[in-house]
Amino acid sequence: MTVSHPELVARVEQARRDGDWSPVTGALPYARFLGLDAGLYEGELRTRLRFSPPLVGNTSIPALHGGTLAALLECAAIFQLLAEMETVVLPKTINVTVDYMRSGRAVDTWAKATVARLGRRVASVHAVAWQEDRRVEVASATGHFLVLGRGEEP
């Protein structure tokens, strides 16, 4: 399935209105590959990585591959930006730093991102990931994203 930018923009605008981000995540092949979805839970936008055996990096624990947690956190940051920006520009990742606190076990993982600063050109976003217990962070990330075109003439 190929989704054009205008269609993706329409889906983001719809998701902002009704809080259901599945039409957005469903349009992103890599999100489908990982098993990512996003939606409003307890009044906040959360991204979920549904556990599946292909996400495992270490079979002896077993533990999620570090790359899947990085992807979850980066996606959560981008969805949060898409939710908060007044226009739809696709944020481009400048960099992401991921801190791994504990191994991700073989269960679903949740992430919540917070926009620390939304500037004219760049946004700084922090995201945390947890599993059963929100207070126990599995990993966190800080990322910088180019948001060129936000509120400017195209």
List residues binding other proteins (CB under 8 A): 1-5, 8, 27-34, 53-72, 74-75, 90, 92-104, 139
Q: 101 or 120: whose CB is closer to other proteins?
A: 101
90 vs 118, which CB is nearer to other proteins?
Answer: 90
Task: Quote the least distance from Cβ 93 to other proteins, whole Å.
Answer: 5
Min CB(43)–other proteins separation in Å: 26
Task: Give the phi and the psi of residue 106 in degrees, each rounded to 5.
Answer: -80, 55
CB of 1 or CB of 43, closer to other proteins: 1
Please state, in angstroms and rounded to a whole number, the distance separating the CA atoms of residues 75 and 62. 23
Smallest distance, other proteins to C-beta of residue 2, A: 5
Nearest approach, Cβ of 29 to other proteins (angstroms)? 4
Closest contact distance (angstroms) between CB of 146 and other proteins is 10
Q: How many residues does the chain have?
A: 154
Cβ partners under 8 Å of residue 96, min gap 6? 70, 73, 74, 77, 141, 142, 143
Q: For residue 124, give the amino acid letter.
A: S
Comparing CB distances to other proteins, the nearer of 57 and 149 is 57
Q: Tell me how far the alpha carbon of residue 42 is from its chain's centroid.
A: 17
Q: What are phi and psi of 36, to 5 degrees?
A: -95, 140
Which CB, 6 or 43, lies closer to other proteins?
6
